[in-house]
């Protein structure tokens, strides 16, 4: 068993113990949450394994994929930040119509 796998197993055990300490754990969704955690752990382990092989055999491709992944993450963060601003804004703030093509006197009269 690799060191990474041992660390992942230890983290999984820690999460399970923390869930037992909290009353009710994740409630009725505890089995689903546990399965998602197991899946994410397995997927992360495979990603590290494949990424390591790709980095060794095709460093240029790995570099391009890493850069593309960074760009996707940045786009996701920007989209989420925009939604969070709208969700946390006061209820439908009044909009002001700005007519950039019309005469200046017509704006507030």
Claim: this prediction has a pTM higher than 0.95: no
Q: How far apart (Å, rounded) are the C-alpha atoms in residues 36 and 81?
A: 25
Locus of tokens 């055999």: 57
pLDDT at residue 28, as a whole number? 82
| pLDDT in the model for residue 105 | 59
Note whether 54 and 62 are within 8 A (CB): yes
CA 78 to chain centre: 11
How many angstroms separate the CA atoms of 73 and 57, rounded? 25
Q: Report pLDDT for 67.
A: 93
pLDDT tens digits, residue range 70-84? 999 999 999 998 888
> How big is the CA angle at 54 (ends 48 and 60), to the nearest 5 degrees?
125
Instruction: Please give the average pLDDT of every successive group of 10 residues along the chain, which has 109 residues.
Output: 72 67 63 90 89 89 91 92 80 72 61
């Amino acid at each position: 068993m690799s060191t990474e796998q041992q660390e992942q197993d230890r983290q999984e055990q820690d999460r399970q113990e923390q869930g037992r300490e909290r009353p009710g754990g994740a409630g009725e969704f505890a089995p689903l949450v546990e399965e998602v955690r197991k899946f994410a752990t397995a997927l992360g382990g495979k990603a590290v394994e494949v990424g390591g092989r790709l980095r060794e055999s095709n460093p240029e491709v790995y570099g391009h994929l890493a850069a593309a992944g960074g760009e996707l993450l940045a786009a996701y963060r920007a989209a989420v930040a925009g939604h969070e601003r709208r969700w946390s804004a006061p209820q439908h703030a009044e909009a002001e119509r700005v007519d950039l093509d019309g005469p200046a006197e017509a704006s507030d009269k």
